[in-house]
C-alpha cells in the first residue's frame, strides 16, 4: 500500500497534534496532584471527575501518533534505520532519566546506599519504575518490536486490513491496567501492551492513504463528535455510579478508548484544516514533547512542596484547587522546556539522545 501524503504539510499538523497530546498528559497529572487530598476524601469530587473525563488515557494519542509517524515517515527508510532511530532518540533518553531518577526510592527519598541504587536499576529499566509515568516506555518498546508484524499484516491484500481492524478493536475487550493498580508490583502489563497496540495500529492504518482518510473523517465528523459525546456521557455516568468491572472486562477502559480514538480523528482533522496557520504557541511545546514527558512529573513533585498551601487553604478561594493545578501545569511545562533548551545549548544535536529534545 502506498502513502499519498505530502510530507511537509503532514508534519506540520502532526507536530501540533503531538503538542496537544503532551498538554493532555501533563494536565491529568497536574490537576490530579493538586486535587490529591480532596480526592482521598471523595474520588467523585467535580475537579477529579472532570480531570479524568477530559484527560485520562491521553497516552492513546501518543500511541496513535507513533503509528502515523512510522507509516508516513519511517517506513520508507527501512527497519534498520527505524530501530536505530528509536534506540538513539527513545531508548537512550529513557536510560538517562532512569539512571537519574533511580537515585530515589518509591517514596522519592534518596537511596540509602549505592548498592541499593544498583539493585533497583534492572527493575526500573525493564518495568519503567523509575518514575510513575515511565510505565509507557516499555509498552512503547513493545510497539516498536511488533511494528514489522503489523506492517506485514497491512501488506496482505485480501484480508490484511480486516485483521488490522480486529487488532484495533481488541482494546474494546481488553482492560487497560492503571498505574495505581500496578504500583506495588511491576508496571509492565501484557494487557497494556495489547491495549495500546490497538491505537498504534489505528495510526498505521489511518496513515495509509491519509488524505482520503481525512476526507472520510471530514464527511463523518458529526458522527465522530456524537461518538465522543456519547462515550463521554456514558463515562460520566459509570464513574459517578462506581460501575466498571464485569469480570475481566472494564467499561471505563473501553469507553476511554472509543472517546480518545474518535477525538484523535477530529483533532487531526482540525489541525490539518488549519494548514499553515498552526498555533505558534503550540510549536515549542510539541518540539519538546518528549522532554516534557520525561520531566514534568518530577517537576510536579518538586513544586508540590511550595504550592501545596494553595489547594489546601480552602477558605481563600472556591476554585483554589483548580488554580493550583494550573500553576503545576504551566510551571512544570515551562521548567521542562527550559531544561531542553539548556541541553541543546550544551550538547547541540546530541541533546536529543540525552533528554529527547
pLDDT by residue (tens digit) across 23-43? 999 999 999 888 876 666 677
Reported as a pLDDT band with limits 50, 70 and 90, residue 186 is low
Is residue 69 a part of any domain in this protein? yes
Mean pLDDT of 333-341: 96
Percentage, residues of the chain above pLDDT 70: 89
- What is the pLDDT of the chain when averaged over all its residues? 87
Burial of residue 304, with CB atoms counted within 10 A of its CB: 0-12 exposed, 13-18 middle, 19 or more buried: middle
**Res. 317: pLDDT tops 70:** no
Is residue 2 a part of any domain in this protein? no
Is residue 54 a part of any domain in this protein? yes
**Res. 311: pLDDT tops 60:** no
Distance CA 327, CA 309 (A): 12
Reported as a pLDDT band with limits 50, 70 and 90, residue 3 is very low
Is residue 114 a part of any domain in this protein? yes
C-alpha cell of 181?
Answer: 493498580
Q: pLDDT by residue (tens digit) across 115-145? A: 888 988 998 899 888 898 999 999 999 999 9
Is residue 38 a part of any domain in this protein? yes
Is residue 1 a part of any domain in this protein? no
Distance CA 288, CA 21 (A): 12
Is residue 255 a part of any domain in this protein? yes
Is residue 299 a part of any domain in this protein? yes
Residue ranges making up the domain that contains 188: 7-353
Give the 3-state secondary structure of residue 245: strand
Q: What is the model's pTM? A: 0.89
**Res. 7: pLDDT tops 50:** no
- Structural domain count, the chain: 1
E strands, the chain, where?
A: 245-246, 249-250
C-alpha cell of 304?
Answer: 508540590
250 sits in which H/E element: strand 249-250
How far CA 56 is from CA of 32, 35, 133, 179, 233, in Å, comes to 10, 15, 13, 12, 15
Terminal alpha carbon distance of the chain: 32
Distance CA 13, CA 226 (A): 23
Amino acid at each position: 500500500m502506498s502513502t499519498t501524503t505530502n510530507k511537509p504539510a503532514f508534519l506540520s499538523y502532526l507536530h501540533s497534534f503531538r503538542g496537544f497530546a503532551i498538554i493532555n498528559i501533563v494536565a491529568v497529572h497536574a490537576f490530579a496532584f493538586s486535587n490529591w487530598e480532596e480526592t482521598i476524601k471523595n474520588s467523585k469530587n467535580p475537579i477529579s471527575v472532570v480531570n479524568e473525563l477530559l484527560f485520562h488515557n491521553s497516552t492513546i494519542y501518543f500511541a496513535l501518533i507513533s503509528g502515523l509517524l512510522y507509516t508516513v515517515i519511517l517506513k520508507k527508510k527501512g527497519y534498520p534505520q527505524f530501530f536505530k532511530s528509536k534506540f538513539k532518540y527513545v531508548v537512550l533518553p529513557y536510560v538517562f532519566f532512569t539512571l537519574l531518577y533511580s537515585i530515589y526510592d518509591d517514596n522519592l527519598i534518596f537511596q540509602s546506599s549505592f548498592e541499593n541504587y544498583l539493585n533497583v536499576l534492572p527493575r526500573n529499566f525493564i518495568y519503567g519504575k523509575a518514575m510513575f509515568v515511565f510505565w509507557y516506555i516499555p509498552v512503547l518498546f513493545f510497539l516498536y518490536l511488533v511494528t514489522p508484524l503489523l506492517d506485514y499484516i497491512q501488506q496482505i491484500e485480501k484480508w490484511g486490513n480486516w485483521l488490522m481492524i480486529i487488532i484495533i478493536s481488541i482494546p474494546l475487550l481488553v482492560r487497560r491496567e492503571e498505574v495505581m493498580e500496578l504500583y506495588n508490583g511491576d508496571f509492565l502489563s501484557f494487557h497494556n501492551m495489547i491495549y495500546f497496540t490497538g491505537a498504534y495500529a489505528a495510526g498505521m492504518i489511518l496513515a495509509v492513504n491519509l488524505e482520503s482518510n481525512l476526507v472520510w473523517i471530514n464527511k463523518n465528523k458529526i458522527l465522530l463528535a456524537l461518538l465522543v459525546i456519547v462515550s463521554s456521557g456514558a463515562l460520566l455516568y459509570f464513574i459517578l455510579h462506581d460501575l466498571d468491572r464485569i469480570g475481566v472486562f472494564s467499561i471505563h477502559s473501553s469507553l476511554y478508548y472509543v472517546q480518545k480514538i474518535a477525538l484523535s480523528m477530529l483533532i487531526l482533522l482540525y489541525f490539518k484544516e488549519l494548514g499553515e496557520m498552526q498555533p505558534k504557541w503550540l510549536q515549542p511545546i510539541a518540539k519538546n514533547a518528549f522532554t516534557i514527558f520525561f520531566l514534568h512529573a518530577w517537576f510536579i513533585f518538586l513544586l508540590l512542596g511550595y504550592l501545596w498551601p494553595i489547594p489546601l487553604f480552602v477558605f481563600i478561594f472556591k476554585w483554589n484547587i483548580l488554580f493550583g493545578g494550573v500553576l503545576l501545569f504551566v510551571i512544570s511545562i515551562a521548567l521542562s522546556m527550559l531544561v531542553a533548551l539548556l541541553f541543546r545549548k550544551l550538547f547541540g544535536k546530541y541533546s536529543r539522545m540525552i533528554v529527547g529534545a
